[in-house]
């Protein structure tokens, strides 16, 4: 095809490989040995042509599968019309997307950015600004949960509850306090008039695929109402249909003041959003917050197509059906391999297999063995195998993945 490459773009892909990563990339990641080159739905092919079944969806991002035709179409159509303007101008896709998101949720206002971390950064800044203007600068403490994950900017890693992500980056932003997840008494003890926000993932993702209890989210709502703090739900991972509801808060019947969403919102095209009410949104004025790319027409046209595709009763009903089938499969595997797995937990198509005590710390080994069988799965920490397949996963693919994981476990146990 490319006998005479004229630029880097024309270089056949075999000219770069996994080893190239170690010579030209800042080593913030340790990627798998395979380099994917093409994907369709949940099927993916690497440089050597080997096929994989993708049950990671790019970490809960490509929820409509790879190269979904309606999303590709929305992208291509918008790409030939208008990509970018800057915030001195608004545009039709961003207004339509804001309308769709506010029609579909508790929210009345939307702010757009490019990632989950940026959506949370906006939420935390807005909560501080709101509290300072309503009550004064003493009201600035943020409560968040142990093991929470909110992104990688300095503010969001500091609010996140995993010390391994802040070590070495001190000094950190202050007035942040961590409480154990799902512990109502601890939340009550930590709450007070100096708290501006309580932030929580309705289903903790990176922290181990752990759903909040209804009582816990209700208690946080009450605490916020009593103290004037804002309740922030980080739905970056669990939102956009992942749990079988458009947003997980809808399953719980507990409404936040601010909701952050990203990941699946663009199905792989970078976009994030912070959703809130008019009364809270008015504490941000022109110039108080922003980002160059936020709300650009290209990202918004894609996200609008994603929301319109996912937010139908039929689509969300199918997510629940697929969830029940996958749960059944994982529970059967856990029962058949009790030396490996202790339990299965999660919500919708966000499921985790918790390792048994005798297998602690070995999640990565299992995911690598699965990959060798052609199944891509994630881990959440070293003790949980994490399943986040595209929401369009078929019954046949769930059965196929079941067989692949069993084969991987048999190989792993035989070599031990």
Given the rule CB under 6 A, which of 149-157, 244-252, 294-302, 376-384 is the region that contacts ligand PLP? Answer: 149-157
Spatial contact of 209 and 351, defined as CB atoms under 8 Å apart: yes
- For residue 119 the two structure tokens come to 């959506």
Give the C-alpha distances (Å, rounded to integers) separating 319 from 54, 241, 377, 390: 17, 8, 18, 10
Give the three-state DSSP class for 118: helix
Candidate list 41, 65, 93, 151; residue touching ligand PLP; CB under 6 A: 151
C-alpha span between 283 and 303 (Å, rounded): 26
261 binds ligand PLP (CB under 6 A): no
Region of 13-21, 199-207, 326-334, 383-391 interacting with ligand PLP (CB under 6 A): 199-207
Maximum separation of any 2 CA atoms in the chain, in Å: 70
Rounded to a whole number of angstroms, the minimum distance from the CB of residue 340 to ligand PLP is 25
Total residues found in the chain within this entry: 416
**150 binds ligand PLP per the rule CB under 6 A:** yes
Count the Cβ atoms, other than its own, within 10 Å of residue 250.
Answer: 18
Asked if 155 is part of the footprint of ligand PLP (rule: CB under 6 A), the reply reads: no
Distance set, CA 407 to CA 56, 293, 366, 404 (Å): 19, 45, 11, 5
Which three-class secondary structure state does DSSP give residue 61? Answer: coil
Under rule CB under 6 A, which residues in 64-123 are in contact with ligand PLP?
115-117, 120
Binding status of residue 201 toward ligand PLP by CB under 6 A: yes
Nearer to ligand PLP, 117 or 322 (CB): 117
Residues making up the annotated binding site for pyridoxal 5'-phosphate are 116-117, 149, 234-237, 292
Q: Which of 63, 158, 182, 237 binds ligand PLP (CB under 6 A)?
A: 237
Q: Is 58 in the site for ligand PLP (CB under 6 A)?
A: no
For ligand PLP (CB under 6 A), the number of binding residues is 15
CA 337 – CA 406 distance, rounded (Å): 9
Strand locations in 228-288, DSSP E? Answer: 230-234, 258-261, 272-276
- In this complex, which beta carbon is closest to ligand PLP, that of residue 153 or of residue 400? 153
| Sequence ranges of the binding site | 116-117, 149, 152, 234-237, 291-292
Binding segment (CB under 6 A) for ligand PLP, from list 23-31, 93-101, 198-206, 281-289: 198-206
Rounded CA gap, 251 and 248, in Å? 5
Using the rule CB under 6 A, is 386 a contact of ligand PLP? no
Residue from 205, 244, 266, 268 touching ligand PLP (CB under 6 A): that is 205
Which residues of 125-235 form beta strands (DSSP E)? 141-145, 176-179, 195-200, 203-204, 210-211, 230-234
Q: Binding string, 207-236, against ligand PLP, x = CB under 6 A?
A: ---------------------------x-x
Q: Judged by CB under 6 A, does residue 158 bind ligand PLP?
A: no
Q: Which residues bind ligand PLP (CB under 6 A)?
A: 115-117, 120, 149-151, 201, 205-206, 234, 236-237, 262-263
């Amino acid at each position: 095809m490319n006998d005479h490459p004229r630029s880097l773009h024309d270089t056949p892909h075999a000219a770069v490989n996994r080893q190239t990563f170690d010579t030209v990339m800042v080593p913030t990641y340790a990627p798998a040995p395979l380099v994917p080159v093409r994907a369709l739905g949940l099927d993916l092919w690497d440089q050597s042509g080997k096929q994989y079944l993708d049950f990671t969806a790019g970490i809960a991002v490509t929820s409509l599968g790879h190269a979904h035709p309606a999303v590709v179409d929305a992208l291509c159509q918008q790409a030939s019309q208008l990509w970018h303007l800057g915030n001195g101008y608004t545009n039709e896709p961003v207004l339509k997307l804001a309308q769709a998101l506010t029609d579909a949720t508790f929210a009345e206002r939307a702010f757009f950015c490019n990632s989950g971390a940026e959506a949370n950064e906006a939420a935390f800044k807005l909560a501080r600004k709101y509290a300072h203007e309503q009550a004064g600068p003493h009201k600035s403490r943020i409560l968040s949960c142990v093991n929470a994950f909110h992104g990688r900017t300095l503010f969001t890693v500091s609010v996140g509850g995993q010390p391994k992500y802040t070590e070495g980056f001190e000094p950190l932003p202050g007035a942040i306090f961590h409480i154990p997840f799902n512990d109502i008494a601890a939340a009550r003890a930590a709450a007070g008039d100096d708290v501006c926000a309580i932030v929580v993932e309705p289903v903790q993702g990176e922290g181990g695929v752990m759903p909040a209890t209804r009582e816990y989210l209700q208690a946080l709502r009450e605490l916020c109402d009593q103290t004037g703090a804002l309740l922030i739900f980080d739905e970056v991972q669990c939102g956009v249909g992942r749990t079988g509801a458009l947003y997980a808060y809808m399953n719980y019947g507990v409404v936040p003041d601010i909701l952050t969403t990203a990941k699946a919102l663009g199905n792989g095209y970078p976009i994030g959003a912070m959703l809130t009410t008019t009364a809270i949104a008015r504490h941000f004025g022109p110039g108080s917050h922003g980002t160059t790319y936020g709300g650009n027409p290209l990202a918004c046209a894609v996200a609008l197509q994603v929301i319109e595709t996912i937010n139908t009763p039929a689509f969300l009903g199918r997510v629940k059906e697929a969830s029940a089938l996958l749960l059944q499969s994982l529970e059967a595997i856990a029962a058949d391999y009790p030396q490996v797995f202790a339990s299965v937990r999660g919500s919708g198509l966000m499921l985790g297999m918790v390792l048994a005590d005798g297998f602690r710390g070995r999640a990565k080994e299992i995911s690598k063995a699965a990959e060798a069988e052609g199944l891509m799965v994630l881990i959440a920490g070293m003790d949980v195998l994490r399943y986040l397949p595209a929401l369009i996963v078929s019954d046949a693919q769930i059965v196929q993945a079941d067989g692949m994981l069993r084969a991987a476990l048999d190989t792993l146990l035989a070599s031990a």
